[in-house]
Structures are given as C-alpha cells and as structure tokens.
A and B are shown apart, each in its own frame.
Chain A
Amino acid sequence: MAPTKKISLTEEELVRALKGRETIAIQALYDMYSGSLLGVISRIVQHTEIAEDLLQDTFIKIWNSTEYYDSSKGRLFTWMVNIARNLAIDKIRSKDFRNATKNQDIENNVDFIDAQKEITLNADTMGLKDMVTALKPEFNSVLDMVYFKGYTHVEAAEELNLPLGTVKTRIRMAIMELRKYFN
C-alpha cells in the first residue's frame, strides 16, 4: 500500500495500537506528529495559545475517532491533518474566535495573509529557503493557501481571481515540485 516498507510498518503498528486503544499509541502519536500538526494549525489560526488548544482538541478527536480511520483509503497523517485543519478552520470562523481576536476575522485574515505571505514562508520555516526558492512562487502560494491558510480551493480561486482549473493545475504543479524536491 505504501511505497516505503519502513514507514508503512511503523504506521501499521501505530494504527493497530490506536484501534486497540493502547495508551502507548498516544505517546507515539504525539512524538511523531505533534510538530507537523501544530505547524499546520498555527499557520491557520496564527495564535500560539489557540493553536496549542486546537492541537489538544485534535489529538482528543483522533483518539475518539480511530474507528473511522480506514488505512485502505489513505495514510494516517493525511487523515489526521484533515481533522486538524477542519478544527482550525471551524475555530477561525467561529464567533468567539472573531470576538477574541478582533482584527483577525476572516476578511482581515485574508489581508493579513497577503501581507505576511513571504515572511511566513521564510521566517517560520527554518532550513526551507533552498526549497522555497526552488518552487515557483505562483504555484506555491495557491498550495499554501489551501494547505496552510484554511482556504478551500474554490475560495482560493475567488481570492486570486483565477479560474478553478488554473487553481487545480497550480496545486498539482506545486505538489509535483515538492515530490521532486523530497525525492
């Protein structure tokens, strides 16, 4: 199912432990994925404290929803990062979040994102300068809007004033670049 045996074995074991509700799975989950998940969450909500609360919610939700994970449909991380992203998006669209972070409602967030685009890509990502420069910025920005900013691809198309097909192509090209880079 997965190309690398080593990763798939680890993931298989983890999934088995999760589904068996073995408490060791929680530790493994945290050690392996807390950084990656927090990276995605904090780019969406921008507030460290709220992001960590959401990370906590994400782990609890993962722990309570393991029966819904189907390894034949995709990797564990893909499933988990979607849970994390949905919780983060729900949060930034919620009334109490907008009240708590008055200048950070969705519209302001968009401006904020536009202003911070390059800074976010450079400052927050240590050791990524080489990779960032390797990617074509117009491809990368669309992918980042969807993966890190909580936009749907439809919203990204509207925001960038691009046809939906172009947005899809750019996302695909960006991921192709990433694949090339990581290989």
Chain B
Amino acid sequence: MEESKAYIETGILELYVLGQLNAHEQREVEEMAAKYPEIKGEISAIEIAMEQYAIKHAMQPTAGLDKQIFEKILAEEPVIKETVSAPAPEAKIVQLTPDKSASTIKLLRFALVACIGLLVVSTVALYSAHDKLNTANQQIASLSLDKEKFAATVSFMKGENKDLQEIAAISSDPTWTLVKLAGTKISPQANMMVYWHKKGQHVMVDNTKMALPKNDADHQYQLWAIVNGKPVDLGVFDATAEPKKLLVTMKEVGNAQAFAVTLEKRGGSISPTMEKMVAMGGVSI
C-alpha cells in the first residue's frame, strides 16, 4: 500500500498516460498496475481527466470529412495501403540521399582507380623516358667522341696534306737542297732525307723518306750539321712507325758540308757520340 502510494506520487503515471515514457518504463508501469489495483485505478482516473480535458478542447471537423475517411477505410486493401503510405514520398526523399552518396562513393572509387591507373602509366612512361634519355646520352657521348676522333683525324690529315704539299714544293724548288743520308757500318740499312734551304737556313727532316731503326723511350736520334769539319747540333727527332708530322723542322744552319745522325740519350747531347752514328750524307752542289 505504501509502495503504491509513493509510486503514484512520483508522477510517473501521468507521464505514462501522456505517452512520455520509453518502452522499458512503460513495461514497469504496466507491471505495477497489474500488481496494485489502486495504481490501475489512478491511471484510469488520469486517463478520464485527460479525455475530458480533450473533449473540452474538441474542434468540430469540416463537414464531409467523415465520408472521406469512411471511403478510404472501406475501400479495397490496396487503396488503404496507398493511403497509409501517403507520406511515403518523404521516406523516398530520405532514401535518395544515401543513394546520392553511394553514387558519389562509386564515382570517387572510379576516380581513385583511374588515378592509380594513371600513376602506373606515368611511372612506366617515366622509366621508359629515363631509359631512352640514358641511351640518348650514351649515344651523344659516343658521337661526341667520334666527332673528336674525326676532328683529330681531319686536323692530322690537314697537317699531313700541308706537309706533303710542302715536300712536293721543296722537291721542285731549286733553292732547297735535298741531302740523302746513307747508313753507316753500324746500321747499313738506314737512310733518310734532309731538306736544307741554304739561304733561309731552314732544315727539315722528311719522315716519309726515313728508314731508321726505331729508337726506344730512353734514346733519340740527333741531327748534326758538319760545318767546316765540326759538328753543329740541329736538334733531336724520333723514328716511329706512325710519325705525328711528315716534316720535322730542325734548328737553322746557313753553312754545312754534310749532315749526320747519331743515336743519343733522350733530349740530345752536346757533342755527337761517333760510335752511334747511324747515317751520314754530304751536301752535293
């Protein structure tokens, strides 16, 4: 009795009648009402009071509304369902939003896949371009090397051509004296040609007409002019299979009776080593 009275006084029964309770609270009230008749009586009293309050506030519906309602209710089941689902368009509108976001997600997914695809293609293209660039760089390097070689060859050939022309000019020019040097006892096979311009005091060694044993890295051939029985140094030269120049300009001399070549230490000597004289030739006028 005390419990039910206290329960009534909490005001929960009023909230129950007003539909303010959640399912759990409702069950609790219903259990209490089943247990205590005075609680059940209290609920009924509240309900009747609210019902009468509503009757006092009643508003007469527009005439003819009853017929509309009866028609709807008495019509076939599908019609009733249609009427019941009248607010359905709203529900559909609500569903449109997830649809939209679903399609957006789909679109974004597609975009992501497309981006990844593009990235892969770009990466492959980049690597391929990088490879090609490397190849191109290598080709450029090798071409540039070739070009240098060609340039060197051309410059060498130009030099050679100039020398050859000079040799030809010297041969046909009477102011030049051609001195043929023949091999000595220690090198009978040796021979070479020296061009001498007495007036201009020029001396040239012709590599194309040279047959001397190759000198090693420590030694060089030295050309001497014999002036009034004394040897005069005219400079050193090398005897190689592939000479850099066809014509080697030597030191100047204005008066000579003969020319001789000795094998000396690299850089030459002050006076000739007579035992190492490989070729010699007198000037014939």
Residues of A whose CB lies within 8 Å of any CB of B are: 1-4, 7, 23, 26-27, 30, 34-40, 42-43, 48, 52, 55-57, 59-61, 63-64, 72-75, 77-78, 81-82, 85-86, 94-96, 124-125, 127-128, 131, 146-148, 152-153, 168-169, 171-172, 175, 178-179, 182
Contacts and interface: CB of A to CB of B under 8 A. Distances in A.
The dominant DSSP class at the A interface is helix
Contacts of A148: 57
Nearest to A62: B73
A124 to B, nearest CB: 7
Interface residues of B, number: 50
A101 to B, nearest CB: 15
A39 B58 contact: yes
Nearest to A171: B14
A3 B44 contact: yes
Contact of A57 (B43, B74, B86): B86
Q: Which of A85, A128, A148, A179 has most chain B Cβ within 10 Å?
A: A179
A36 B58 contact: yes
Contact of A60 (B15, B56, B72): B72
Contact of B49 (A42, A127, A182): A182
Contacts, number: 148
Nearest to B8: A172
Nearest to B27: A73
A52 B66 CA distance: 10
B57 A39 contact: yes
Nearest to B12: A168
B56 A125 contact: yes
8 contacts: A4-B48, A30-B66, A30-B70, A55-B69, A59-B69, A127-B56, A172-B11, A178-B52
Nearest to B55: A36
Contacts of B58: 35-36, 38-39
Contacts of A128: 56-57
Contacts of B40: 1
B23 interface: no
Contacts of B87: 57, 94
Residue among A27, A57, A61, A148 having the largest count of chain B Cβ atoms under 10 Å: A57
Interface in B26-85: 30, 33-34, 40-41, 43-62, 65-66, 68-70, 72-74, 80, 83-84
